[in-house]
Amino acid sequence: MSNRMHVLTLPVDACSAGHNSPCIKFEARVVPTRVHIPSLAWRSQGVFLHRPALISRLISGASSSQPTFFACVVVMKSTFLSFLGVAVTMASMAWATNVRDTRGSISVRHGGSKRSGISSEDLEQMGDQMAARANLNLRFNYGRDMVRGVGIGGWLVIEDFISPSIYEKAGDDRVIDEWSFGKYVPKEKAKRILKNHYDNFITEEDFKEIASYGLNHVRISFPYWGIRTWGDEPYVTLNQYDKLKEAAHWAAKYNLKMIIELHTVPGGANPYDHGGHTGHFDWLNEQKYEDRWLEILDELVSEFSQSKYPAVSGISMVNEPNGDVNQVYGRYKKGYNTVRNSESDSDLIILIGDVFLNPAENDYWHSRLQPPKYQNVMTDTHVYRMFDPNSIRLSPHDRIQSYCNMKSGFAEANKHLWALVGEWSPAVTDCAPGLNGRFEGARYDGSFGDSNYIGSCKGKTGNAKHFSESYKRFLKKSWEAQVDTYEAGSGWIMWTWRTEHHNADDWSYRQGVRHGWIPKDPTQRDFKC
């Protein structure tokens, strides 16, 4: 994409809006699809000069009677006088439709309500962190419209607690993950089992039902081996990539946005079974794994940023990476450059896993991957209290309070990087069979590792028909408390949409709606923190 030179002039009505700044005609370099605003100063109307600087601080906030303008950053030549500063707007009828929702007072949707008219003092404080990130080409108004979605788990990446039939059909107890599935199951048998699963576990009807529940996002887990494998890797590559493309068309048909989540990476980002190879996570340790990961990212972005996939709005670069956070951060910068420098010049939102440093409780990510150098980055936080030995012992009241205690933290984190809770569950125990790995037990009943007994798993998971009314009421409160908290940030995507054979209904969004602890309209809630 080439840089083009334009001669820009402030319109008379903007120059006469009560400000003392002169109208100045000058040449500026404008990059059509990328606008970097290093620092912003906000007022309720018009455009104004904040203070002398080499980088002009610009914002368009015209009154409703004025045309819609495009805010542009101009880097001033160092030879200019110290008092020289410029505010620039460019009227463009061609861009008016795209720009309209980013001008004027900021509106933020929370819980179905609309808050507008934020004070100039608030904007002064938040402007650099929020508005500088605004990119007119995003396919969803992140930071302004609330993300409400569901994860499609256990489909293109197998998890035992979601789709246990895969491992049952293997007929081999050595099979505990997709590495061992490809290694021990005869090839033709493995292909037959997986092909049937990919074709039938999730269909267009699921997307139709998801949309009917008032959700606006799906997050689809995808394995790197769905595109290719290297060397002697035993993973089975079939039609996963084709199904991902088909899902993108289903999402578009039902007006859903779709985040592609790279759930596995070459070498392994974490030691869990859903990472592909239990106990192996060498992604950070060898250059070849980094190179392969970047290759996969480039392929995904080049494909799904095309206009034929309008539903695809973001890409999550890696799921739940373990290891040194500074090293992961270094990888993220390389991944960011790969996405942004793809031949597509993509404007997809980029999601980064928080490396288990929840931004509502830790400020590590507050100062990283910031604009103007990095644009449209979102943290992806996973909140699972049932895996924490201390949290799992909490009383119902204290459990709810532990969620509510994060609300202000997410609001603060969202000022720095958009903060999404990309995985969470109303489930209160880890009792679901296979949740901690195939043939592994649960912390709640003391059958996992060296855990201690807290209570019986009976009636806590499995078929919702066997849940008591009091338990369903608590699941409802758990769901509502978390939603209320996470909407203080940029929103939420619950894990997961469905599980097989009522294996873990407490984890299923669909079963939650059908049995009443999740409302059909996610904005209609009884509890607030």
Tokens of 380: 């992806």
Whole-number pLDDT of residue 137: 79
Q: Express each pLDDT in 237-275 by its tens digit.
A: 999 999 999 999 999 999 999 999 999 999 999 999 999
pLDDT at 342: 75
- Tell me the mean pLDDT in the region 110-121: 32
Q: Provide the pLDDT confidence category of residue 136 given band limits of 50, 70 and 90.
A: low
Domain residue extents for the chain: 4-133, 150-515
What pLDDT is attached to residue 473? 98
Give residue 359's pLDDT.
98
Q: Of the given ranges (50-54, 195-199, 462-466, 493-497), which has the lowest mean pLDDT?
A: 50-54
Max avg pLDDT among 69-78, 93-102, 348-357? 348-357
pLDDT of residue 356: 96
Residue 492's nearest CA partner among 421, 404, 411 is: 421
427 Cβ contact partners less than 8 Å away, ≥ 6 residues apart: 386, 461, 475, 478, 504, 506, 507
Q: State the distance between the two ends of the chain, measured CA to CA, in whole angstroms.
A: 48
Q: Catalytic positions, please?
A: 320, 423
The model carries a pTM of: 0.76
The percent of residues in the chain predicted with pLDDT above 90, rounded, is: 72
Answer for the pair 36, 19: CB distance below 8 angstroms, yes or no.
no
Q: Is the pLDDT of residue 42 over 80?
A: no
Write the CB contacts of 148 (distance below 8 Å, at least 6 apart in sequence): 214, 215, 216, 217, 491, 492, 522
Contact between residue 295 and residue 262 where contact means Cβ atoms under 8 Å apart = no
525 and 113 Cβ atoms separated by less than 8 Å? no
Of 23-27, 262-266, 336-340, the range with the lowest mean pLDDT is 23-27
Provide the token pair at 385.
């209290």
Q: What is the arithmetic mean of pLDDT over 140-169?
A: 96
> What is the arithmetic mean of pLDDT over 47-61?
26
Q: What is the mean pLDDT of residues 176-186?
A: 98
pLDDT over 70 (residue 183) = yes
CA–CA distance, 365 with 370 (Å, rounded to integer): 9
Per CATH, the homologous superfamily of domain 150-515 is: Glycosidases (3.20.20.80)
Q: If we measure between CA atoms, which residue out of 203, 420, 214, 206 comes closest to residue 313?
A: 420
The residue ranking higher by pLDDT, 98 or 459, is: 459
pLDDT above 70 for 172: yes
Q: What is the DSSP string of 42-100?
A: --SSS----S--SB--------TTSPPEEE---B--TTS-TT-----EEE-TTTHHHHG
- Per DSSP bridges, beta strands 113-115 and 108-110 are antiparallel
Flag whether pLDDT at 64 surpasses 80. Answer: no
Contacts of 117 (CB under 8 A, 6+ apart): 105
Mean pLDDT of 182-202: 98
Higher pLDDT, 41 or 464: 464
Residue that the structure tokens 């790969």 belong to:
338
Work out the burial of residue 194: count CB atoms within 10 Å of its CB; fewer than 13 is exposed, 13-18 middle, 19 or more buried.
buried
Answer yes or no: are the C-beta atoms of 351 and 380 closer than 8 Å. Answer: yes
Is pLDDT larger for residue 495 or for residue 91? 495
Task: Please give the pLDDT value at position 345.
Answer: 56
Examine the pLDDT at 375 and tell me if it is beyond 70: yes
- Please enumerate in sequence order all residues whose Cβ is within 8 A of that of 54, keeping only pairs 6 or more positions apart, or say none: 75, 76, 78, 80
| Residue of 463, 397, 456, 449 whose CA lies nearest to 429 | 456
- For residue 121, what pLDDT is reported? 44
* 300 vs 54, residue with greater confidence: 300
The band of 347, judged by pLDDT with boundaries at 50, 70 and 90, is confident
For the cut 90, the answer to whether the pLDDT of residue 29 exceeds it is no
pLDDT tens digits for range 414-437: 999 999 999 999 999 999 999 999
Please give the pLDDT value at position 346: 66
Amino acid letter, residue 317 = M
